Amino acid sequence: MDAAEGKAGTDWAIQDIARMAGTTSRTLRHYGDIGLLKPSRVGSNGYRYYDAAALLQLQRILLLRELGLGLPAIAEVFRRQTDAVEALSHHLEWLGQEQDRLSRQMASVRQTIETIKRGGGMVAEKMFDGFDHTQYKDEVEERWGKDAYAKSDAWWRGMDAAGKQEWKSAAEKLGSDWIAAAGSGAAPDGAEAQDLARRQVEWLSAIPGTPAAGQGGDLKGYVTGLAEMYVADARFAANYGGEEGAAFVRDALLVYADRNLQDPAPPTGGAR
């Protein structure tokens, strides 16, 4: 690498951006390949460089990934939200709400632990402080529409405590099975990993309101977007035993999507 091109003016090399953002050069290149994050220039050595505008775009991508949006959904957000300051102000407000919610959750869990230690009785209202999923109502409605939120909310509220616990247990079992398969040296395109990929897609598709549910959604795009996110975000990777395990899940899901899921049909309306 030419040292003079490590940082030229106000742009940064792809390796530097990956390090600062806690992601990988491969992920940044993928964002560029699908049109989400174009480099400001490409050096004579083939390295990609990013200016301040690209950094702003990457920050927005990472914020939206934390909200659980897949890459196709993020592209749609960018098409609708062209004012970066307004969009980031909205994200900042959401992060403040999330910080408050997590603080209340932590206090609730601490109190539960202390109550158990003392052998006292539980106070239901305090046990569930900070666990209100309706805080995401505005965000879900903005990204996927009011109908999406209404469906997912009705689905969750319609389950009793046993049903909710069963759903959570199934998710935990799926995660542990992924970790076990990765640890055993299974191949991402092998029968064991592909069966797990099938289970993962069925689990995602069973949640109303997501792009994976219902007819007409871009299930393939949603699955591949989540697959990449499992590796790009360390918090998601932790669910699969770390970055190596998450990479195994990603590779298996990409194989499954390529073999079994269809690209969305092009819009009708005649040739363009």
pLDDT in tens, 134-159: 444 454 445 445 555 566 666 666 77
Region of poorest pLDDT, from 7-16, 71-80, 145-154, 200-209: 145-154
Instruction: Write out the two tokens for 13.
Output: 């090399």
Task: pLDDT band for 237, please (50, 70, 90 cuts).
Answer: confident
**What one-letter code names the amino acid at 121?**
G
Long-range CB contacts (within 8 A, 24+) of 71-77:
71/31, 71/34, 71/36, 71/221, 71/224, 71/225, 71/228, 72/211, 72/218, 72/221, 72/222, 72/225, 73/143, 73/144, 73/211, 73/222, 73/225, 74/36, 74/225, 75/34, 75/35, 75/36, 77/143
Q: Where are the domains of the chain?
A: 159-261
pLDDT at position 233 over 90 = no
Interval 197-227: pLDDT, tens:
999 998 877 777 666 665 556 778 878 887 8
- CA-based angle 221:223:224, to the nearest 5? 65
Give 48's strand partners.
42
Interval 120-139: pLDDT, tens:
554 444 444 444 444 444 54
Segment 63-82 mean pLDDT: 75
Whole-model pTM? Answer: 0.46
pLDDT of residue 1: 40
CB 49, CB 39: distance < 8 Å = yes
Region of poorest pLDDT, from 50-54, 102-106, 252-256, 260-264: 102-106
Which residue's structure tokens are 């992060």? 95
Pick the CATH number of 159-261 from 2.60.40, 1.10.287, 1.10.490, 1.10.8: 1.10.490
pLDDT of residue 235: 64
